[in-house]
Structure 1
């Protein structure tokens, strides 16, 4: 294209040229050189700005709170490059009023604004300074807020929210920035940092509410204030208590489960140092302080701390489990040795005639230590301060070899059912060490062959009696209340082989006590702490209602028709899986894995587990049984996913609402222990498909009658098998929501079909099982991490 010429400019240039050349004559010698000019200033370099962002970071540069409040802040991406062109921001400004007469410090909302404006919040004036900094002028004159007056001494908080804009073709994730300050520019003189996200992420993953816009607890606290929300129950402390009490999986009353120390929660002890009526009644709902119901009448909080001192508050609330922990220290029933021997040495075992070339016997040595770790020099079976002392033992390595293993019950509160609870056989006693011989253990496995060179595990479960003060051991025969005056002992998990205890654990670490305790609560924050499994064993291993022989045991199965109406009576007393306030000594755990002794692939689900919620003839019977299997790697997934056969119905007692993302495997798993390769070649899960067909409840008037087909939960016989990888994956992915007319969640047929197409087998007989799953070919570690959003 031809360049266009400006005619007027060209003519003017020619005219000036003629005028200059028309001046004749010589002007003489050249003049002197002029002085050197000064150096020019360096030019401003070009600004490099972000063209994409994974995360946004906000830094508050300056805040002025007045009738025309203004904030200047900088936004950068994860590479610390300035981000320009953003239009979506939220601004929450609050002030902290110091409590008087026993009141807690309380936040007051001064203004909540956002850009672009909406029906929920209006927008003031937002200026993009095109260098990564932004300036926002609040629309509201915050000095008109009657609930709070701004002074240079008071603490203020600004929350800036970002996210929702598009940069580099991607929508930016939401982020919140909290900034506490004084209006004179200096650091705050006081604060109220009771909890933060670090306290919450023990149970939750990402803490997000209101569509994901708000991701910090400080944001919630700043807005849920008494001058903003419609009722006192929605002020943040009360709201948080109401949403968690009786719902969380940690002990009720265990305030330190949430109110725990970290570098940001500097006021974490407020729960015991600043008792107030407002927060107390969120748990103690039967108290009315104003009217004097279940408490002396008080108009305000001025006198609360006089009686409810930090020591008293802590003792009353945390004694539910910390008191038990201190009592536990009085006795340590310690496994000092354990080994598998090929032939028995105890005369009673020799005479039994049960020994074969394919059996072995475990010799277990224990010592009773006092609180100082010194031996009491007492033979275990001859002391009188144990209510029960039991040792759960199994052999066979990763999958274990026996259904429920063997249980050595030195003292027990259970019936002596033949073949299940046997009299202990003492092999020897010397210098405080009692050695028992337990067996026989089968050393041949249908799937693995010889188990002779494998390893075993043992974990104790004990309860001992003490005086009312919890200071001295006491004979259980003299104790008026065994449960009220006793303590559960520690229950470490030990591994052993044919040479003795194994110093290094032979199986990979899948979960840890600390990971379980992050949600269920810990007695301490170190590796020696006890995880408080308040959803205790009795919730599933339910007590019986109408058969005295089985009361207080886990051995009953099925039901009886006592009233003759042709319908089996409810025999199992259901308990809710929701946490309870009482001390859960049966489930305070040190190991997190000790359940493996019984909860393994060999152990078919029985009617105790099924609870009649699935039965032969159901279209999804085998799959429902699979998801209700007691194998540790299945039941623990299915229970948290609310997928067991006795879960998932509207209003059912056993429903569980898991507080984190079920796809977040590392929430519970250590490292990459969820890799599907670890399931390749593992033992299939055993089922007993005709279990209820062989139960007829003969002679219900005689609970101890074992004739006919009356069934114990321990005598299920495997007649079908399920592939292990499919069972584990199904435990989380196997259910869809119940549709209209269905009483519970149903199995996803598409998932089962996909598994079968890739080698999985469900409910096949022993001779038909091939073990040819190919899941790990596609679902390798990288695929699992990608599909579960773990990278």
Structure 2
């Protein structure tokens, strides 16, 4: 308490010096220098030091924005100086040299101070520059603004006087720029009452845009954390405990490719928080625009709307943005479990020293986002203090922390435990060998399931709830390992080329080529051998070429208590089962000819950058809406069933009398590429019309059937564009080696899969996103492709010529038109 009073007295004296002008005079004398007190000249001129630093790729501003400040500082140039209005010194380095010629339109700046945590309230940033938003009449929830006006943090305004504007950004021949604030942040009449506290941690952030040598527009947000010394100069904050960095933009960009907001210029969370802090409010909706609250509610938007519809205390989260445009988030579903807080917040990264504060600092601004707290919510029911009608949003944060104590049963890190994914570390499937015997038409698989947390000890797969033995052995699906299986994926279309492996058997009589893992013969050490029978050849199905054994399934564990302070956690009562992810694997083998493993197109690691554990939860974060109950969590397993012959029993949404293809490559592009689609990609479609981009209906006003999974509405690609490399590996998107067309029509009575109608291979991929009438006509007329008018046999005999224009390096090469330059 004494130190806090001393700090307050220091700030008062410092501010009094600013008001009197004495400190400015001191600064002027200090700048001129006097006698032995003058700072020595650097051994090397500033310009030479900056030029040398610019030649180092590590200082390129596009790749390393912080170098905009650190390079001039290393050359002896102070990053921020105070006289009246702050002056910010920075450089821009591009293509090995200082970028000259920037104008004021290329630069915006903001300075915020960090208010430390106190009394249970978390630390937060406060901007010195703000404006008042006046709500437009008739704009808001139900056509009524929530409040008439509200403060909003903003960038430092540009000068309106021509002479002052010309001087607001200046370039120095030594290789750096100076931006002079219009706002004197030491004057509370210009900061709307926000007091200047020089000894607090401050952050200056820039919004820069410039064009590099390749002609690309670069947008970056360099930031610099500092305090102000007695001479009015910025001093870098080097102690990570004295700043606040909760999330890293790199974590955001794992899904968003390049975080981009407000026209594309805001690309870094370190910059975002200088505006999006508790002092900023959307007048139309009345919602705070604080980063923690806003970001959590956006990512939980779908769940909150579902709870609202169920009268369970949720909300329809809407913000009004640029030009009073409503921003709806009811269809935004976080593509993994909302309990995975460490995806965005982790102190394991040196760039986010406060990343673990979510575990110890509890705040209603963050918690009452995913946790709906309205009347009827489960959260209210579990907090009896609010059952009398008290408003949870008005409670002090200290009250939250009083219950959610570190080390207690309600420790935040403990209650966010996700058994489904966290216990995946205990289960890894190993395929030791897989070989085909053409005489018996059986694939012999040797394998074991191990516990990596216990020295890879092998599990016994037959548990006490299994019955019988030998050929009568049966384990129920509720048994711990009763769901683990092996599938055999292989080719069986007569005449199908074997030089490139495209699985085709599952939906052509080969779906019986599977076996439960528990049915294997145990060698006494929990290593097993099992045999998968390959179905007999027929006139329309001939096994040939290369195949793949894929493990699938989840482990059934007894659900354990999340609200528990110690390990081991006890089971919940009454007893309940929970699915737990397994680290699955696969093995390739040849049925005939040389082994040609199926090409690697996408990676599980890239999928899981967004999905954490592919298929185990959906955007609504409920197991009920997970794909196949979460049992398929690898792309290798998806490709087994979703082969070229898999088609829906319903029609396409574009009005054509065709079935929708659920071939893996077409389905995945259709789900993720809906931002380019004209018609929704659905599962179980019963309507035909163009898709309304607001995600609520079709343009004809006909709503989607209640049981339809409307991926085009529910899944929004989170990147700024369509970056194929976000999923693909080894440039696999540049050349589509697929041999089989995607089946879209199985005419009545036609059992020969070669006579089923298809979209030819390349067209099947491209029109999954580009589905307009014009796009379909283009691929058919110019690409030598078929869109449901020709058979699979025809497609195998004809070569699409799409690559003539769209091949890598072509005039409209995929590598160019889908690039993210």
Say whether residues 1:136 and 2:179 are aligned partners: yes
Match for residue 343 of structure 2?
Answer: 257
Say whether residues 1:487 and 2:571 are aligned partners: no
Q: Deviations over 1:549-576 (max 9, x none)?
A: xxxxxxxxxxxxxxxxxxxxxxxxxxxx
Say whether residues 1:507 and 2:556 are aligned partners: no
Separation in 2, partners of 1:461, 1:273: 36
Q: Contact conserved, 1:321 with 1:583, CA < 8 A, in 2?
A: no
Matches within 5 A, 1:373-452: 373-376=457-460, 378=462, 381-382=473-474, 385-386=479-480, 387-396=482-491, 398-404=501-507, 405-407=510-512, 430-431=523-524, 432=526, 435-441=529-535, 451-452=543-544
Match for residue 733 of structure 2?
Answer: 674
Q: Contact conserved, 1:515 with 1:667, CA < 8 A, in 2?
A: yes
Q: Contact conserved, 1:493 with 1:594, CA < 8 A, in 2?
A: no
- What residue ranges of structure 1 are gaps of 5+ in the alignment? 1-42, 345-359, 412-423, 522-529, 536-576, 695-713, 735-746
Separation in 2, partners of 1:505, 1:266: 47
Say whether residues 1:58 and 2:68 are aligned partners: yes
* Structure 2 counterpart SS, 1:141: coil
- Change in Cα spacing, 1:765 to 1:197, as seen in structure 2 (3 Å) is same
Q: Deviations over 1:170-218 (max 9, x none)?
A: 6954332111111123333511100131121011022121112222222
Say whether residues 1:780 and 2:807 are aligned partners: yes
Separation in 2, partners of 1:169, 1:336: 50
Q: Contact conserved, 2:754 with 2:792, CA < 8 A, in 1?
A: no
Say whether residues 1:325 and 2:424 are aligned partners: yes
Q: Contact conserved, 1:511 with 1:668, CA < 8 A, in 2?
A: yes
Match of 2:682 among 620, 623, 646: 646
Match of 2:617 among 500, 519, 534: 534
User: How many residues matched?
Assistant: 612
Q: Deviations over 1:715-770 (max 9, x none)?
A: 99962222111101111222xxxxxxxxxxxx323443334432112321355443
Q: Deviations over 1:413-442 (max 9, x none)?
A: xxxxxxxxxxx9978664355544433435
Match for residue 497 of structure 1?
Answer: 589
Separation in 2, partners of 1:322, 1:118: 56
Separation in 2, partners of 1:58, 1:425: 60
Separation in 2, partners of 1:169, 1:376: 59
Separation in 1, partners of 2:119, 2:126: 18
- Change in Cα spacing, 1:304 to 1:118, as seen in structure 2 (3 Å) is farther
1:688 deviates by 3.1
* Structure 1 counterpart SS, 2:79: strand
Match for residue 786 of structure 2?
Answer: 761
- Change in Cα spacing, 1:374 to 1:733, as seen in structure 2 (3 Å) is same
Q: Deviations over 1:581-618 (max 9, x none)?
A: 77959326653321111111132x122xx3x555xxx7
1:62 deviates by 2.7
1:771 deviates by 2.5
Say whether residues 1:155 and 2:241 are aligned partners: no
- Change in Cα spacing, 1:662 to 1:110, as seen in structure 2 (3 Å) is closer
- Change in Cα spacing, 1:507 to 1:167, as seen in structure 2 (3 Å) is closer
- Change in Cα spacing, 1:716 to 1:248, as seen in structure 2 (3 Å) is farther
Matches within 5 A, 1:612-631: 614=653, 619-622=655-658, 625=659, 628-631=660-663
1:279 deviates by 1.5
Separation in 2, partners of 1:366, 1:171: 51
Match of 1:361 among 434, 437, 442: 442
Say whether residues 1:208 and 2:307 are aligned partners: no
Separation in 2, partners of 1:150, 1:79: 38
1:467 deviates by 7.3
Match for residue 240 of structure 1?
Answer: 295
* Structure 2 counterpart SS, 1:391: strand
Q: Contact conserved, 1:181 with 1:187, CA < 8 A, in 2?
A: yes
Match of 1:72 among 89, 92, 117: 89
Say whether residues 1:749 and 2:786 are aligned partners: no
Q: Deviations over 1:613-659 (max 9, x none)?
A: 55xxx75334xx4xx31211111111111255428454255222110
Separation in 2, partners of 1:194, 1:596: 38
1:389 deviates by 3.6
Separation in 2, partners of 1:222, 1:67: 21
Match of 1:602 among 627, 642, 645: 645
Q: Deviations over 1:42-74 (max 9, x none)?
A: x99999999xx9969733643134643222333
* Structure 2 counterpart SS, 1:464: strand
Q: Deviations over 1:684-737 (max 9, x none)?
A: 22333446x99xxxxxxxxxxxxxxxxxxx999962222111101111222xxx
* Structure 1 counterpart SS, 2:434: strand
Say whether residues 1:459 and 2:551 are aligned partners: yes
* Structure 2 counterpart SS, 1:202: helix
Q: Deviations over 1:213-235 (max 9, x none)?
A: 22222222101223343455211
- Change in Cα spacing, 1:687 to 1:362, as seen in structure 2 (3 Å) is farther
Separation in 2, partners of 1:219, 1:251: 27
- Change in Cα spacing, 1:639 to 1:171, as seen in structure 2 (3 Å) is closer
Say whether residues 1:86 and 2:115 are aligned partners: no
Match for residue 571 of structure 1?
Answer: none
- Change in Cα spacing, 1:765 to 1:588, as seen in structure 2 (3 Å) is closer
Which protein shows a greater Rg? 1
Say whether residues 1:516 and 2:607 are aligned partners: yes
Q: Deviations over 1:146-186 (max 9, x none)?
A: 6643334311011122226x899969543321111111233
Deviates more, 1:99-108 or 1:314-323: 314-323
TM-score normalised to the size of structure 1? Answer: 0.67
Q: Contact conserved, 1:464 with 1:486, CA < 8 A, in 2?
A: yes
Say whether residues 1:101 and 2:113 are aligned partners: no
- Change in Cα spacing, 1:157 to 1:757, as seen in structure 2 (3 Å) is same
Could you say what the CA RMSD is over the residues aligned between the two structures, in angstroms? 4.5
Say whether residues 1:192 and 2:236 are aligned partners: no
- What residue ranges of structure 2 are gaps of 5+ in the alignment? 1-44, 55-59, 73-77, 130-153, 303-332, 463-468, 492-497, 684-690, 697-703
* Structure 2 counterpart SS, 1:777: helix
* Structure 1 counterpart SS, 2:296: helix
- Change in Cα spacing, 1:633 to 1:96, as seen in structure 2 (3 Å) is same
Deviates more, 1:491-500 or 1:220-229: 491-500
Separation in 2, partners of 1:716, 1:323: 43
Separation in 2, partners of 1:209, 1:781: 31
- Change in Cα spacing, 1:44 to 1:203, as seen in structure 2 (3 Å) is closer
- Change in Cα spacing, 1:274 to 1:147, as seen in structure 2 (3 Å) is farther
TM-score normalised to the size of structure 2? Answer: 0.65
1:90 deviates by 0.8
Match for residue 587 of structure 1?
Answer: 630
Give 1 or 2: higher helix fraction: 2
Say whether residues 1:283 and 2:283 are aligned partners: no
1:460 deviates by 2.7
Q: Contact conserved, 1:340 with 1:363, CA < 8 A, in 2?
A: yes
Separation in 2, partners of 1:123, 1:168: 28
Separation in 1, partners of 2:46, 2:127: 42
Separation in 2, partners of 1:489, 1:99: 39
